[in-house]
Structure 1
Amino acid sequence: MTAVGDIGGKTTDRRAVISVLRRLRSPAGQSNPFPLYEELRAMGDVVPAPWGGHFVTSFELCNQILRGRNWLVPDFAWLDRQTDTERWRAPATREMFNTLSRLNAPVHTMRRRSLGRLFDHSTVEDMRPQVEAHVGHLLEDLETQLRAHGSADLVATVSDPLPMHTIGRWLDIPAEDYAHILDFTHRQVHAQELLPSKSELAISAKSTIEMRQYFTELIRRRRARPGDDVLSDWIRHWDKEAPDDRAGADEVLYSLTMFVTIASLETTATLLSSLVRLLIDEPSRWDWLRRHPEHIDNAVEETLRYDPPIHLNSRFSAEDTVLSGVPIAKDTTVHVMYGVANHDPRVNENPHVFDILRGGGAHLTFGGGVHYCLGAALARLEAHTLLRHLLKRFPTLRPAASPTYASRMVFRCMTSLRVTT
């Protein structure tokens, strides 16, 4: 048995945990989950989940789990050991278990290396001009809607289209396909939630079929007419790696292309929307940052800490261990609570205060270890660029209505943010 952490857990009432989880999925809980996360933290650093496994609320422990070699992502081998066959055998659920986020070494290492230096400094700088140009076009659309209607939905007009255009241009995906990709991405994500309903899994199953058809055909067309784009490079690499197994190469290419595309959409869109919401909710913040644009990066980092686009991720123990005094048997799932950990007062003083000038605020929003988010630098570029242009073009931007959210626990999703000037 290996001790991990030295902060004691507490005896927890199962009904209290269920109550918090139910309220988290309510409209009020989605709009402001932080008091509920504080309730969860008060139950201990390691909180038993009603269905088995544990929630981990401590920043220190979450960080150790994300970086620890003895904590693995749930993969196909783990999946096949589960007894809830309806949940874990669902086609939409299994589809995501062949992506980078659900692979462990050595397969993860091999596939990750095949991507090269994905979104490194040089690549992101090469993408900057197109991000700048597209932000300009989107804000023209926003201004047109504001003039015509007095208010506009920032999510539909700006936050959703920006990351889709960025990744679409990078992979040379036809622009006329962007709306379709966004649509099936929004529907497929149900299968990646913590407790999807039967109806949600059915929606995800249909969207999974559409997703596979789309990316399979995209790869087929690109192989027939390769170019200088990233996807063509991946095809050449995997055709060389598996010259006698075209079907196997195509399956890897599908998983990589699909994952890199959809992983960059909802999470970045929610970051962009949350960033704007947190700033315009208090007009003095928006005005101050407009006069001090040198702190835009600070505002982005504080948003990532304060309201991360992913509030929960999962790992399982590769061996029997002890986590903050709580015995954890091999194969047990732990849910790393990004949102709670980022608000741990032992790491961030006054964590429930949104403070642009916090300075050095620690967060786990992009994960850690070998599964650190590949698109972190790109998301930061998009957020910085959008905010800089918005501050210049709309100095009096403010909310026109309260934001709305999808009922989720894993992936935050702001579905509407109406703004006015």
Structure 2
Amino acid sequence: MNLQHKNMPAFANEQTYDLFAPEALANSYPLFKRMRSEDPVHYSEALGYWILTRYRDVEAAVRDERLSSNRTALFINKLGSLDVKEIQNFLDMTSHWMVDTDPPEHTRLRKLGNPGFTTRAIESWRSIIQNTTDRLLDRVQNQGGMDVVSDLAVALPGFIISEIFGVPETDRANLLEWARDIGTFFGAAGGSTIEMAELARKADKAAVNFCALIRQLIEQRRRQPGTDMISLLSVAYQEQGFNDRELPFLCMEILNTGLLTTTDLIANGVNALLSHPDQLQKLKKNPTLINSAVEEILRFDTSVPFSTRIAKQDLTIGGKNITAGSIIALGFGPANHDPEKFEEPEVFDITRTPNEHLGFSSGIHFCVGAVLARMELTICLTTLLRRLPNLRFDPDKQAIPTKHSNLVLKGFDSLRVKFDACLN
């Protein structure tokens, strides 16, 4: 598929919206509001993307069979003049991911992943999440402060997903690094040739190392099966006669997305609560509101603000003619703040109902790890507020949003907080 963005028509009064300006990185929602009001189906010359910001357009696009989730051409396009061999291992991996395939292949892959998300398996994660959260807070609770990102948001999903998959502790740091390298190139909106070449090579090397580790773990579990997800999936693959070659790619997708998106979601959630002390106090007084609070966090500041699609044919969205091969960025973040869908969308309200947000996408690509992400965030925030009294921003340390040009992932590089130390 050829991506059509080099010779797109120029628009007479075209607005420019810099999604990576410092003020947009700090808070992108005022910019999204402008785009939704001025040009809700906007073509960005800088990115070469069409950008959708209205809820009705985004929700319809998620379900539109004329739009493909196969991003192979997009990844190759990022390379510019570089040889596609630079990302061959990366492409081999993502071409087997549910998130990057269309039916009927997507339907088949989704079926393969179901054994890892049974009710029994999901409930067994609860104690792992609680114990891990407590261990991490044990390390900091007497210090009176911490960095939510490095001390909790990165470490918690890393420990949990590694425990669920039975990844040895000696390999966990590498796993996090590989996931970051893959995710950075996956969501990169563009950059200089030198920058993209570096990101591409890191992602490709990470895919090789990731795959080697997972294959090694699969072989170990076949000799000594356990109750971890790799063991469950291995048994299911053998019993149903699935192609074993695909199992590592499925494991890599679940691991990768489970690590990156939840990391950002935890930090975004803490930031939202601390930025709205009235809602924080409401939650403290009534902890039963935690499930509703989690849904509002997912709406208010999702960790996945955009997802891209490729137009398989010419089509019209919001009165704009879009040609086959065009890249379309579906704005989950902007859509979640659309006043046509949500009353007072800029208000953070932990009792909001209904709350039909797109924090986990929708339709056939609804996030397969949504149950795990919700469980992690619920247990993490509940334990955090219970164990760290008077949790607040550190006035001497400014929060640092992610700086890389990543359209797909949104979070913080650092989020310093203080609390009353609990000396035993």
Paired position in structure 2 for 1:339: 333
Distance 1:109 1:199, change over 3 A: same
Deviates more, 1:405-414 or 1:346-355: 405-414
What SS does the corresponding residue of 2:117 show, helix, strand or coil? coil
Normalised TM-score (structure 2): 0.86
Q: Please, which of 32, 39, 51 is the counterpart of residue 34 of structure 2? A: 39
Tell me the residue number matched to 2:231: 232
Shift of 1:83: 9.9
- 1:324 Cα deviation (Å)? 1.7
TM-score, length-scaled by structure 1: 0.86
**Cα distance between partner residues in 2 of 1:378 and 1:93:** 25
When residues 199 and 296 of structure 1 are mapped into structure 2, their CA distance, relative to the original with a 3 A threshold, is same
Q: After the TM superposition, which residues 18-417 of structure 1 pair with which residues of structure 2 at under 5 Å, given as runs?
A: 20-21=17-18, 24-50=19-45, 51-76=47-72, 84=80, 86=82, 90-91=86-87, 94=91, 95-146=93-144, 151-192=145-186, 193-197=188-192, 198-224=194-220, 225-228=223-226, 229-238=228-237, 249-250=244-245, 252-400=246-394, 401-407=397-403, 408-417=406-415
Q: Give the SS at the match of 1:419.
A: strand
Give me the whole-angstrom Cα distance separating, in 2, the residues matched to 1:359 and 1:241.
Answer: 41
Listed one character per residue, the Cα deviations across residues 231-280 of structure 1 (whole Å, up to 9, x for unaligned) are 1343455567779xxxx733x22321111101011210111111111111
Q: Give the counterpart of 1:420 among 392, 395, 418.
A: 418
Cα distance in 2 for partners of 1:13, 1:187 equals 38
2:422 match:
none
Distance in 1, matches of 2:13 and 2:80, equals: 24
Structure 2 CA distance for partners of 1:93 and 1:333, relative to 1, 3 Å: farther
Paired with 1:415 and 1:288, the residues of 2 have a C-alpha distance of 28
Instruction: Write the distance in 1 (CA, Å) between the matches of 2:24 and 2:211.
Output: 35
Counterpart contact for 1:317–1:329, Cα < 8 Å:
yes
User: Residues of 1 paired with 2:128 and 2:217: CA distance?
Assistant: 24
The alignment of Structure 1 onto Structure 2 pairs a total of residues equal to 398
One-letter amino acid of the counterpart of residue 297, structure 1: N
Q: Look up the equivalent residue of 1:223 and give its one-letter code.
A: E
Q: Which amino acid aligns with 1:296?
A: I
| 1:153-197 deviation line (CA, Å, top 9, x unaligned) | 111111111111221111111122222211222233221122244
Q: 1:299 to 1:35 in 2, by over 3 A?
A: same
Change (3 A) 1:136 1:49: same
d(CA) in 2 for partners of 1:305, 1:103: 25
C-alpha distance in 1 between matches for 2:272 and 2:27: 12
State the secondary structure of the residue aligned to 2:334: helix
Which structure 2 residue ranges, 5 or more long, are not aligned?
Answer: 1-9, 420-424
Contact 2:115 2:236 in 1 (8 A): no
Deviation at 1:314, TM superposition (A): 0.9
Which runs of no fewer than 5 residues in structure 1 stay unpaired?
1-9
**C-alpha root-mean-square deviation of aligned residues, in Å?**
2.7
Q: Structure 1's 82 and 240: CA in aligned 2 closer, same or farther, altered over 3 A?
A: farther
Identity of aligned residues (%): 24
Q: Secondary structure at the match of 1:266?
A: helix
Which letter does structure 2 place at the counterpart of 1:311?
P
* Residue 375 (structure 1) shift: 0.6
How far the C-alpha of 1:140 sits from its partner, in A, is 0.9
Q: Is the 8 A contact 1:341 1:364 kept in 2?
A: yes
How far apart, CA to CA, are the structure 2 residues paired with 1:185 and 1:153? 21
Of residues 41-50 and 228-237 in structure 1, the stretch that sits farther from structure 2 once superposed is: 228-237
Contact 1:406 1:413 in 2 (8 A): yes
Q: CA 1:397 to 1:78, structure 2 compared with 1: closer, same or farther past 3 Å?
A: closer
Q: Secondary structure at the match of 1:276?
A: helix
Aligned residues of 1:120 and 1:377 also touching (Cα < 8 A) = no
Give, in angstroms, the shift of residue 359 of structure 1: 1.6
Q: Once structures 1 and 2 are overlaid, which stretch shifts more, 88-97 or 348-357?
A: 88-97
Partner of 1:335, secondary structure, is strand
Task: In structure 1, give the amino acid aligned to 2:33.
Answer: E
Describe the shift of the 1:221–1:396 C-alpha distance in structure 2 as closer, same or farther (beyond 3 A).
closer
1:105-132 deviations in Å (ceiling 9; x for gaps):
2222222211224434443222111111
1:6 corresponds to: none
Q: Distance in 2 between matches of 1:280 and 1:77?
A: 41
